[in-house]
Amino acid sequence: MIHNGRAITVQRLDDAIAELRFDLQDESVNKFNQVTLQDLKDATQAIKADGQIKGLVVTSGKPVFIVGADITEFGAMFSSSVEEITAKVLDVHQIFNAFEDLNLPTVAAINGVALGGGFEMCLACDYRVMSSKAQVGLPEVKLGIFPGYGGTVRLSRVVGVDNALEWIGTGTQYKADDALKVGAVDAVVSPEQLQAAAVDVVKKAISGEFDWQTKRQEKLVPVKLNQIEQMMAFNSAKGVILAKANPAQYPAPKLALDSLQISVTQTRDEAIKTEAEYFAKAAATPQAKALIGLFLSDQFVKKVAKKHEKGAHDVNMAAVLGAGIMGGGIAYQSAVKGTPIIMKDIGNKQLELGMNEANKLLTKQVERSKITPAQMGETLARIRPTLSYDEFKDVDIVIEAVTENPAVKEKVLADVESRVRDNTIIASNTSTISITRLAKALKRPENFVGMHFFNPVHMMPLVEVIRGEKTSDEAIATTVVLAQKMGKTPIVVNDCPGFLVNRVLFPYFGAFDLLLKDGADFVQIDKVMEKFGWPMGPAYLIDVVGIDTGVHGAEVMAEGFPDRMKPDFKGAIQVMYENQRLGQKNDVGFYKYELDKKGKKAKVADPSADALVASVATAEKHTFDDQEIIDRMMLTLCNETVRCLEDKIVATASEADMAMIMGIGFPPFRGGPCRYIDQIGVEQYVALCNKYAHLGKAYEAPQLLVDMAKSGKSFYG
């Protein structure tokens, strides 16, 4: 044994060749934490000191190669100054450079996922042999940063500037054939051949059949591109990448491009310094802190879901009641993920609508070559449309997705309960109606739970699992398991009007209505909130949701929380509804909707909407300061999120933030409502609430925030 550490071992395979094996103790995956980095430093020194090794194979003792850096260590590191972050990153570069500079050929045997720092380790090797089952990539931009262990420097020299810009700027993960096509790896073999193939490459390098020294030299010198070629490559990349990522919201791709544009003209050692400096600039941004926090929250939410799974019974057959767009979407999602589902409605016309929805979604996948026609047929075969309850004795869980009307739902729920087994779970896809209230119509309320999908079902990742007063742990567990089987992220919340997401969303619409009453222009509000980071402004959003749906939801919220959600004036949303302007449903709302060249509904200005808004305004229409619009819109939403924590509707800030990002499109680079409050500063945020408290209860700081401000606490510490 040449080296035996907690993360890395080095031992001889024969007299000339050694194996450096990543196998981090007490962890299910390999990652670059402080232990691994120190071990790599020590292992490199041990190999260099040995003097007899002529070639090295780098392997993994786990199903993955290396997943990347240990993100849990980023918080402490990124809270430093730009200069301190730069110095710390340069320390890591010295470790990677020392490995790359070993006077012998090195080959990475990539057996599984190699991402971020994991793939940067592969790039530090002379050759890369990849399993056909593995995937590689540099996804750091999704965390608000970019590769910081030499990835920008080495990849641009291995695959060329164009390909490197695409890989780094988009953060895409690539399969083996795609990596081979651009030269990111040198060979792709079956998993069982991987070790032998890597050893064979080393032997050929030792024998001189492969010129490893010339290959390595290409990574140590500037990229071979003339000035015109460089200009064309970077201008093209900036046009494509920056169109997808607004630098004001996501600065990392732009910083990565700027770093690369300088470093391609430099030697490796000079380029490494440039990368470290620009990496530190990205790491110090609030966006990086928010996106890294978001990643950690996502991991936390998954762990919480695992805890909720205990006591679940198997779901081998599901059913959905109601075959509209929502029911069809639920049926599609279940079937496409492998769980057979019965779709019941009261008429063939409705069943056709549901099947058409599934058919439409699958056809699009076939057209995009995501699935084959045969796979489409298999998926459709898992959906069984029916007009009767005949097969419901075999169903493990029923999802009710009929119209959002308590009387209708209660009748349907009582009916289905009498047709299923005593242990069948019944879930309601209601978006606002209390689960405890609906459970009163049932004989077995312990088997009843809320399962709130978001529209469109196939695109929205969140499912709220709602616990009523009498809902059992088994019902929660089974519903959580089904949501995960359907490819969704379940978050368990307690019962109240609107549950979590809609309860938080409606004060946001209330703030919008109040701004219009005070003379704001809804087009300006939309533009400001979209610039803030929302996928669409509130006027456009309510048009997409459906103004009738919004009015119904607002009535439920007003009944549940009259102190802050029952307005004392008639708002513009209500006026639109009274004038039968329902948004995209009938092509008129705050905007008018016309088909564009691609056949999609596009919004256009409609003067009649302005007139209706003016009819409820108590002040002349005027331009508001952008920040005042942001403050007035965001305070009500963030305050209600905090009240949901106070009321124990949601257990943690991480779950609340993830629900808002996945459920209503809260800007990810801001990290969610609780993290947004943290970034403003809790004390400063409470002062902002006090500034606008005269507008009503919804703007007043919740007591939890007042207490946190006094004690200097924050949600994420």
Q: Rounded to whole angstroms, how far apart are CA atoms 619 and 674?
A: 33
The closest alpha carbon to 137, from 153, 151, 154, belongs to 151
CA-to-CA distance for 502 and 552, rounded, in angstroms?
12
Map residue 662 onto helix, strand or coil: helix
Distance CA 86, CA 89 (A): 5
Count of helices and strands (H, E) across the chain: 31, 20
- Which pairs from 581-585 meet CB under 8 Å and 24+ separation? 581/547, 581/609, 581/612, 582/546, 582/547, 582/548, 583/542, 583/543, 583/544, 583/545, 583/546, 583/547, 584/543, 584/544, 584/546, 585/546, 585/547, 585/548
Amino acid identity of residue 56, one-letter, is: L
Expressed in angstroms, the distance from the first to the final Cα of the chain is 44
Half-sphere exposure of 632 (CA within 13 A, CB side): 23
As a whole number of angstroms, the distance between CA 359 and CA 354 comes to 9
| CA 305 vs CA 398, 655, 682, 713: distances in Å | 20, 10, 29, 27
- C-alpha 377/C-alpha 384 separation (Å) is 13
What pairing do the DSSP bridges indicate for beta strands 127-131 and 187-189?
parallel
Cβ count within 10 A of residue 646: 12
Q: What are the residues facing 19 on neighbouring strands? A: 11, 57
Answer yes or no: 3 catalytic: no
Q: Compute φ and ψ for 16, nearest 5 degrees.
A: -105, -25
Closest CA to 642 of 701, 689, 575: 701
From the candidates 3, 93, 452, 458, which is the catalytic residue? 452
- Token pair of 699 as six digits: 């703007």
Bond preceding residue 456 cis, omega within 30 of 0: yes
Distance, C-alpha 74 to centroid of its chain: 19
> Are the C-beta atoms of residues 288 and 670 closer than 8 Å to each other?
no
Gyration radius from the chain CA atoms: 29
The DSSP output letter for 140 is: G
Q: How far is CA 588 from the centre of its chain?
A: 32
Catalytically active residues, by annotation: 452
